[in-house]
Amino acid sequence: MKPWLRKIFSPAKRSIPLREIRRCFDEAAGDEEHFPATIDPRIYHVQLILHYFGDLSGKRILDAGCGKGRFARVLKERYPAAQIAALDLSEAMLRFVPASISACSGTMTSLPFASASFDCVYATESLEHAVDISAAVAEMCRILKPGGKLVIIDKNAGHWGRLKTPEWEKWFRREELENLLKKDCREVASRFISYWEDVEPDGLFLAWLAQK
């Protein structure tokens, strides 16, 4: 193909069957090094969620794309009276979720919950695997109660190629998710973050904060 044509046309991405993505994560569940069941609660990703949500006692929270439930584990330990649900595509991952947390198998693009049924929802490095991003964002907003809060933490499209990624994974422009969230949320903001509060963000991670 001539160089000028390459600027117009790009190879179409293969449509990845859901079962293939599920199989990939089922296999990854055995890799504790790269897919750990716990997380250091001092990591800023955790602290940001806790700070933005505030007191979670008696509230209903969803960890969307929870993996092994490492974030949900911290929230439940901090707020034992909170009702936390952890959803993931991989049942093998869900086997690691503590019994005190309600584990549920499902997809982010069709959440098996009633509308306006959660006070808070968060997705940490999971939206990137949802494939139909706009549908997943709309679903998270749908299940939020009016006034409910949503946190999405994921990777910046400007740094695409920095890490090895599966074929279906997608990273995001800051304004891309802001615009999707503004369809259903009255307050939307975003900012660059780092793993640690005292380390300057290098542009890889973004956090989107929204209130319905």
Q: What is the pLDDT of residues 148-158, one digit of tens each?
A: 999 999 999 99
User: Residue 17 has what pLDDT?
Assistant: 84
Q: Does residue 10 belong to any structural domain of this protein?
A: no
Q: Does residue 15 belong to any structural domain of this protein?
A: no
Whether the per-residue pLDDT at 117 is higher than 80: the answer is yes
Amino acid at 87: L
Q: Does residue 31 belong to any structural domain of this protein?
A: no
Whether the per-residue pLDDT at 6 is higher than 70: the answer is no
User: Residue 12 has what pLDDT?
Assistant: 42
- Token digits for 52? 């933005």
Which secondary-structure segment (H or E) carries 104?
strand 102-105
Amino acid at 11: P
Which CATH number do you get for residue 118?
A: 3.40.50.150
Q: What is the pTM of this model?
A: 0.92
8 A C-beta contact, residue 147 and residue 211: yes
Alpha-carbon distance of 190 to 49, in angstroms, equals 13
Please report, rounded to a whole number, the percentage of residues in the chain having pLDDT higher than 90.
92
Please report, rounded to a whole number, the percentage of residues in the chain having pLDDT higher than 70.
93
Strands 144-155 and 205-211, sheet pairing: antiparallel
Q: Does residue 124 belong to any structural domain of this protein?
A: yes
Q: Does residue 108 belong to any structural domain of this protein?
A: yes
Whether the per-residue pLDDT at 126 is higher than 80: the answer is yes
Among left, alpha and beta (phi > 0; psi -120 to 50; other), residue 147 is left
User: Residue 2 has what pLDDT?
Assistant: 36
User: Residue 10 has what pLDDT?
Assistant: 35
The domain total for the chain is 1
Average pLDDT over the chain, rounded to an integer: 93
The model's pLDDT over 35-73, given as tens digits with 9 standing for 90+, comes to 999 999 999 999 999 999 999 999 999 999 999 999 999
Q: Does residue 105 belong to any structural domain of this protein?
A: yes
SS (H, E, C) 33-96: CCCCCCCCCCCHHHHHHHHHHCCCCCCEEEEECCCCCHHHHHHHHHCCCCEEEEEECCHHHHCC
Give the domain range for residue 136: 39-211
* Mean pLDDT value of segment 83-92: 98
8 A C-beta contact, residue 69 and residue 37: yes
**147: how many CB neighbours lie within 10 A of its CB?**
10
Q: Does residue 25 belong to any structural domain of this protein?
A: no
The model's pLDDT over 160-181, given as tens digits with 9 standing for 90+, comes to 999 999 999 999 999 999 999 9
Amino acid at 80: P
Higher pLDDT, 2 or 37: 37
